[in-house]
Chains A and B, each alone.
Chain A
């Protein structure tokens, strides 16, 4: 029997058994001899000057080993790139949001550390604070960072074509303003770091990071260490979704305290800290004006995004740029103007989360498109198909669409969900809606390269160790990368051991973000596997006195091409090299940096080589008395290029759609003067199994010429269409469009009441 192919098959997660038996060790499951517990003192004020920090009493508590504050640090700021670096591991002169890190304690146990925190005396001079970007941009508003005028830390203007001419040439012009909510990642594993410093001062940090090499660079920099003095290791990780892209207080303070005490120090955020003092998605107000011909052809768009950046930049100034290409990469139109402003406020810091600035803009665009279709009496599927980007397109901002399954996704999801027979026939209070989305496979948005590298080491028994710097944050890259190696070397994925995300051991990789791992790290791994294969075939050819070109690897052996007789076992080739006079190890080396042509000066070109598309249909029932929405079904057609592991792709789609559902209907941090009022899972609700219908996924697989075996990245794309699909279904159900997320029962009742006043019945 032929074994199942290593790629294109539903290979169960290679680390699945470890995860279902409790054997998988996450960072908080690790402990070291003599380990101390670290805790952080945070600012209770949204904006204040620190006059003094007195740690004398705290230091005297029995069991306390170290107390540190800003004056114990080098005061080196970090962030993405100049000039956006504005954040400190511990505040020095000012605090800028409720939760800003002020001091930290290491003690023998948690109770002692908490007792010591209470004894730290901080004297503050309160400063006036601002809590909305509109207010913060005003002349005379309190300034958060001395070097940034009007608190506008990032601004983008992208003109393409002549937008005013476009509006003049349109038959209809639609103008709307949409708002997204205060969303946060809610990865179930809280932020955690365990740091240990050895006698030479070399630091090792175990933490749930998505980007180990970035963490190493930022920790080394802020602690004044050379890169080689820091090792970052990511153990099993309980989700990321963008939450762990930047070093935070947890990482910096654990490392600082470990260096100060000479003992291992572990800091785990409690859930309230995760909610109110880590990171959250950038909330956006999206003004969108669209010109359209009467047949539904889109002509022009003007989009203005106002983003609440919170107290520090994080990746915000880069995030606000993403909305532009979210608009130009999905539906065709000719004239464009995109403006975006990233504004500091005294709110918690907003930064990347699954979708990276695209979610709010996609919600706006696909919601408005539904309004256009309704008012022009056009079919919502047809208007999307009419304007859909196609393979071969070069978009308004220069993106090249080498593979594109958008139209097919729209057609498949409409057909499979019976969209047309249901639309208009569902009865009172029920509705159905459609939306689409597009996303990159890696991005050079803020760095001039987008590289990954990998080593493939053959062991004496023909098994393989794959060394990759990429971080499996739960999405399953371990399995997918092993499948690529296995296919290339003719072995089974189970014969591949993946060693990942350890900066001392694994080769450089930018990390896990921008849906880049399958595409970028995948191509690097493939290159390394092919390099190993070349070496193996050369050894085998020499042994067999054959031409390497005439040989191939499969079924754990070396074969003469076109024959079924095995010439050599894989391990015989490995051993022949290893036990030769030179003792040569078979070690493949590979790297990948996509040859993109994006020009940051004019903001044109491709930032990535491949785009994944998708379309989704939601069916809802709205209780017209209470405003409660029940999502009855969700269908998602996903263009993923070649599905290396269809089961893993479905998992990403189902998870992304569910995250989108939460954002559409209830997820929102309730804020009052910079304070998060609902910092718990009980009060900030994420979808439970009871809230989600079965999600039906339909894979559309146009082979991408650049992807590994034609695959594209799909980690983030699936949550983009969900908010507008649900919003459009609600619009269909109640006949009024709600333009701010989440679409709560209160908003629905208010909209229904207003409609009733206007004398129309649902």
Chain B
């Protein structure tokens, strides 16, 4: 039986009518038309569906939409503010950390959660934080560089 859910997504309250067994990934993609979170495996192995819930990276394919009620959901679509890319988004573009782009939304959100909690991570901490986000294209070198460049800029007061 369908029920009404109120989800706070990217700072906006969205109302959806959906079955309680629907995952957050299905609701985001199919009901709210937020297709930035990807379905790479649907069983929690690949990380392409990563979103932030109250600032923590979570796999939307393993989270029921009802569990996310009353919490702040951030998807990749919510990261750019006032027409400006988030520094991580900009760094991923500038450092060539994006190839096919299928994993990028999830990787960027995992990295954001890391930098919000730990603005000065070591390379190892970056690799650990994005360890659940698989990428088959880049070999991770440029992804790690991009994340560390933002950390460096945050700590030296640079803009990029």
**What is A's interface to B at a CB cutoff of 8 Å?**
10, 12-13, 15-26, 28-29, 185-190, 236-239, 241, 268, 270-271, 473-476, 647-648, 650-651, 653-659, 680-682, 686-690, 692, 694-695
Contacts and interface: CB of A to CB of B under 8 A. Distances in A.
B100 interface: yes
Contacts of A268: 39
Interface centre among A13, A238, A268, A694 (most CB of B within 10 A): A238
Interface stretch (B1-9, B52-60, B103-111): B103-111
A20 B137 contact: no
B46 A655 contact: no
Contact of B43 (A24, A271, A687, A689): A271
Nearest to A21: B80
B131 A25 contact: no
A657 B138 CA distance: 9
B99 interface: yes
A442 to B, nearest CB: 21
Interface in B42-77: 42-43, 45-46, 48, 75-77
Most buried by B among A650, A657, A686, A688: A688
B111 to A, nearest CB: 10
Interface residues of B, number: 54
A713 to B, nearest CB: 16
B142 interface: yes
B35 interface: yes
22 contacts: A12-B93, A15-B101, A17-B85, A18-B101, A20-B92, A22-B105, A188-B38, A188-B134, A189-B38, A236-B100, A238-B101, A239-B136, A271-B40, A271-B45, A475-B99, A476-B99, A648-B96, A650-B141, A651-B137, A655-B139, A687-B140, A695-B139
Nearest to B19: A111
Nearest to A653: B139
B142 A651 contact: yes
A8 to B, nearest CB: 15
B99 to A, nearest CB: 5
Contact of B103 (A12, A188, A692): A188
B143 interface: yes
A21 B39 contact: no
Given A188-B48, A651-B137, A689-B133, A473 B100 contact: yes
Contact of A13 (B37, B80, B96): B96
Contact of A26 (B38, B46, B92, B141): B38
Nearest to B110: A689
Q: Which of A13, A19, A648, A657 has the most chain B CB within a 10 Å cutoff?
A: A19
A238 to B, nearest CB: 3
A238 B36 CA distance: 13
A16 B29 CA distance: 21
Given A10-B96, A238-B101, A655-B138, A21 B36 contact: yes
B152 interface: no
Contact of B102 (A26, A654, A694): A26
Contacts, number: 183
A681 B92 contact: no
A394 to B, nearest CB: 35
Contacts of A20: 76, 85, 89, 92-93, 98, 101, 104-105, 108
Nearest to B126: A689
B41 interface: yes
Nearest to A718: B139
B41 A241 contact: no
B38 A474 contact: no
A686 B134 contact: yes
Given A241-B136, A686-B134, A12 B96 contact: yes
B40 A189 contact: yes
A677 to B, nearest CB: 16
Contacts of A680: 41, 43, 45
B134 A474 contact: no
Nearest to B147: A689
B27 interface: no
B135 interface: yes
Given A190-B40, A689-B127, A474 B102 contact: yes
B100 to A, nearest CB: 3
Closest 7 CB pairs of A and B: A22-B36, A474-B100, A19-B101, A238-B102, A654-B139, A658-B139, A681-B45
Given A12-B93, A188-B46, A688-B132, A22 B76 contact: yes
A490 B159 CA distance: 31
A189 B134 contact: no
A213 B40 CA distance: 26
B144 interface: yes
Interface in B108-160: 108, 123, 126-128, 130-144
Contacts of A689: 126-128, 130-131, 133, 135, 140, 143-144
Nearest to A475: B99
B75 A22 contact: yes
A24 B80 CA distance: 14
A271 B96 contact: no
B16 interface: no
B127 A474 contact: no
Contacts of A658: 138-140
A26 B104 CA distance: 13
Nearest to B80: A21
A686 B134 CA distance: 8
B47 to A, nearest CB: 9
Given A655-B137, A686-B134, A689-B144, 18 more contacts: A12-B96, A17-B89, A19-B98, A28-B38, A185-B136, A186-B136, A188-B38, A188-B103, A190-B39, A647-B95, A648-B96, A650-B142, A651-B139, A680-B45, A687-B140, A688-B131, A689-B128, A694-B141
A187 B123 CA distance: 26
A690 B127 contact: yes
B50 to A, nearest CB: 12
A26 B134 CA distance: 18
Nearest to A270: B42
Contacts of B80: 21
Contacts of A687: 139-140
